[in-house]
Chains A and B, each alone.
Chain A
Amino acid sequence: MKTVIVVGNGMVGYKFCEKFVSKVDQASFKLIVFGEEPRVAYDRVHLSEYFENGDAERLSMAPREWYQENNIELYINERVTDIHRNSKTITTLSEKTFNYDYLVLATGSSPFVPQINGVDKEGVFVYRTIEDLEDTLAYADKIKKTVEKPKAAILGGGLLGLEAAKAVMDMGMEPHVVEFAPKLMPRQLDTRSSKVLQVKLESMGINIHLSKATNQILGNGHVIGMEFGEDDVLNVDMLVISAGIRPRDELGKSCGLKMGTRGGIVVDNKMRTSDPNIFAIGEIALYNQMIYGLVAPGYEMAGVAVDQILGMEETVMAAEIDMSTKLKLIGVDVASFGIPFMPAEKGHSIIFENKTESLYKRINVSHDGKRLLGGILVGDAQDYNMLLQMYLNEMPLPKNPENLILGSRGGQDMSFGSAMDLPDTAVICSCEAVTKGQICCSVKDDGNESVKAISKATKATTGCGGCKPMVDDLVKETLKSLGKVIKESICEHFEYSRQELYDIVKLRKIEDYNSLLDEVGKGHGCEVCKPAVASIFASIYNETANRQATIQDTNDRYLANIQRNGTYSVVPRVAAGEITPKQLLAIGKIAQKYDLYTKITGGQRIDMFGAQLHELPLIWEELIAEGFETGQAYGKSLRTVKSCVGSTWCRYGMDESVTFAIDIENRYKGIRSPHKIKGGVSGCIRECAEARNKDFGFIAVEGGWNVYICGNGGANPQHAQLLAEKVDKITATKYVDRFLMYYIQTAPPLTRTAAWLDKLDGGIDYVKDVVINDCLGIADQLDSEMQYLVDTYKCEWKEAVENPEIRARYTHFVNAEDTDDTIEFVSLREQKMPKAWV
Chain B
Amino acid sequence: MISILNTYEAVETEKVSLWFKAAPVQKFPENGGACVKYKGMQIAVFNFTREGTWYACQNLCPHKMEMVLSRGMIGEDQGEPKVACPLHKNSFSLKTGMHLNGDLNSIATYPVKIENDFVYIGFSE
Residues of A within 8 A of B (CB): 53, 55, 58, 492-493, 514, 517, 523-531, 549-551, 553-555, 557-558, 562, 564-566, 809, 812-816, 818, 820, 822-823, 837-838
- Check B68 against A566 for contact (C-beta < 8 Å): yes
**Is B23 among interface residues, defined by CB-CB distance under 8 A?**
yes
Contact of B73 among A53, A553, A813, A818 (CB under 8 A): A553
A524 touches B73 (CB 8 A): no
- Contact: A566 with B35, CB < 8 Å? no
Q: Mark B1-40, 1 if CB is under 8 A from A, else 0.
A: 1101000000000000000001100011111101111000
How far, in angstroms, from A108 to B42 measured CA to CA in the complex? 52
Kindly list chain B residues whose C-beta atoms are within 8 Å of the C-beta of A564. Answer: 64, 66, 87
Which of B28, B51, B77 has the most chain A CB within a 10 Å cutoff? B77
Tell me if A55 and B103 are in contact (CB < 8 A): yes
* CA distance in complex: A837, B31 (Å): 31
**Which single member of A53, A524, A562, A814 contacts B87 (CB below 8 Å)?**
A562
A571 to chain B, nearest CB (A): 18
A401 to B44, CA, bound (A): 61
B-side residues, CB < 8 A to A, are 1-2, 4, 22-23, 27-32, 34-37, 42, 45, 48, 50-51, 64-68, 71-79, 82, 84, 86-87, 89, 91, 103
Say yes or no: A820-B67 contact (C-beta < 8 A), given A58-B103, A527-B91, A814-B28: yes
Q: What residues of chain B lie closer than 8 Å to A527, measured between beta carbons? A: 72-75, 84, 89, 91
Residue of B nearest to A809 (CB): B29
Whether A554 lies near B36 (C-beta < 8 A) is: no
Q: List 14 A-B contacts (CB under 8 A).
A: A55-B103, A58-B103, A493-B76, A517-B50, A523-B79, A550-B30, A551-B73, A554-B71, A554-B86, A562-B87, A564-B87, A566-B71, A813-B34, A838-B1
* B1-A566 in contact (CB<8A): no
CA of A190 to CA of B19 in the docked complex: distance in angstroms? 70
Selected contact of B48 from candidates A524, A528, A555, A557, CB within 8 Å:
A524
Shortest beta-carbon distance, A51 to chain B, in Å? 12
A814 touches B103 (CB 8 A): no
Q: When the two chains form the complex, which single residue of B37, B71, B82 contacts A526, counting CB atoms closer than 8 Å?
A: B82
- Given A566-B66, A566-B67, A822 and B4 touching (CB < 8 A)? yes
Verify B77–A838 contact, CB threshold 8 A: no
Does B29 contact A815, Cβ atoms closer than 8 Å? Answer: no
Rounded to whole angstroms, the CA-CA distance of A838 and B71 in the bound complex is 22
- On whether the beta carbons of B50 and A514 are closer than 8 Å, the reply is yes
Contact A815 B36 (CB under 8 A): yes
- In the complex, chain B residues whose CB is within 8 Å of the CB of A813: 34-37, 42
Assess the A549–B29 pair: CB atoms within 8 A: yes
Q: For the complex, what is the distance from the CA of A514 to the CA of B32, rounded to whole Å?
A: 13
CB < 8 Å neighbour of B75 from A524, A549, A815: A524
Q: Within the complex, what minimum Cβ distance (angstroms) separates B99 from chain A?
A: 11
Which 10 A-B pairs have CB atoms at the shortest separation, nearest pair first?
A: A526-B75, A550-B32, A554-B86, A527-B84, A527-B73, A814-B27, A815-B23, A838-B1, A814-B34, A566-B68
Q: How far is the CA of A818 from the CA of B91 in the complex (A)?
A: 27
A523 CB to nearest chain B CB (Å):
6
Q: What 10 additional pairs, Cβ within 8 angstroms, besides A566-B87, A812-B35?
A: A514-B50, A527-B84, A527-B89, A550-B31, A553-B73, A566-B71, A813-B34, A814-B22, A816-B37, A838-B1
